[in-house]
């Protein structure tokens, strides 16, 4: 039996008096089954289309592979010839290079010694720069500590200016020569 989603949606069942089914439940179930079946048909159709496209791609790739195999065989033969010629050229080049290598080695050794002298000079300059930077950092640190101490003193002075009684009490307690506030008639 070939059933379509529309057949599932339009299917009606006979009712029996004893042990019948709920028509709403059957209808909702049939709608859900029809939706799922319709979705499955869409997926199947899509998969068929994908399969046809993939088979066409596979045929194309197989033809391309044959062409590549042929090209690869030709390239391998050509590569072998080039390799043989390159080996002959390499041997000739090596002989010439060995002749010039001694001269270059002498020049390189002299340059190496010059560079080593430059490196030693730069190391000395670096040590001098590090010492200068360390001294500058130390000076800046001392200056920063001094500025912070000055700011703290200024805050204390401002607080004392806003609290004259405390300032007087502090002065009196420090001096011990000025009589207490009650003796002066101060509250």
Chain segment 91-117, per-residue pLDDT in tens: 999 988 888 888 888 889 999 999 999
String of DSSP letters for the chain = ----HHHHHH------SSS---HHHHHHHHHHHHHHHHHHHHHHHHHHHHHHHHHHHHHHHHHHHHHHHHHHHHHHHHHHHHHHHHHHHHHHHHHHHHHHHHHHHHHHHHHHHHHHHHHHHHHHHHHHHHHHHHHHHHHHHHHHHHHHHHHHHHHHHHHHHH-HHHHHHHHHHHHS-SPPHHHHT--
Q: What is the reported pLDDT for 181?
A: 47
Q: What is the reported pLDDT for 183?
A: 47
What distances in angstroms separate CA 138 from CA 14, 135, 143, 145, one per listed residue?
A: 101, 5, 9, 11
User: What's the average model confidence in pLDDT over 155-171?
Assistant: 67
**Which residue would you say has higher pLDDT here, 175 or 59?**
59
**Which residue would you say has higher pLDDT here, 181 or 84?**
84
Q: pLDDT band for 165, please (50, 70, 90 cuts).
A: low
**Which residue would you say has higher pLDDT here, 94 or 182?**
94
Over the chain, what is the mean pLDDT? 83
Task: Quote the pTM value.
Answer: 0.32
Q: What is the reported pLDDT for 13?
A: 67
Does residue 10 surpass a pLDDT of 80?
no
**Which residue would you say has higher pLDDT here, 38 or 147?**
147
Q: What is the reported pLDDT for 74?
A: 93
Nearest-angstrom CA–CA distance, 138 and 144 = 10
């Amino acid at each position: 039996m070939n059933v379509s989603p529309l057949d599932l949606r339009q299917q009606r069942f006979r009712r029996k008096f004893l042990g019948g089914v709920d028509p709403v439940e059957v209808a909702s179930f049939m709608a859900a089954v029809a939706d799922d079946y319709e979705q499955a048909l869409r997926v199947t159709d899509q998969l068929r289309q994908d399969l046809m496209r993939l088979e066409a791609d596979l045929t194309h790739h197989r033809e391309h592979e044959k062409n590549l195999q042929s090209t690869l065989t030709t390239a391998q033969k050509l590569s072998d010839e080039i390799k043989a010629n390159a080996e002959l050229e390499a041997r000739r080049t090596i002989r010439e290079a060995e002749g010039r290598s001694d001269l270059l080695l002498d020049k390189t050794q002299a340059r190496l010694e010059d560079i080593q002298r430059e490196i030693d000079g730069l190391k000395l300059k670096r040590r001098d720069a590090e010492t200068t930077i360390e001294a500058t950092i130390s000076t800046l640190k001392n200056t920063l500590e001094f500025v912070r101490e000055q700011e703290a003193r200024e805050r204390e002075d401002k607080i004392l200016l806003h609290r004259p009684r405390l300032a007087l009490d502090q002065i009196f307690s420090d001096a011990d020569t000025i009589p207490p506030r009650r003796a002066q008639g101060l509250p």
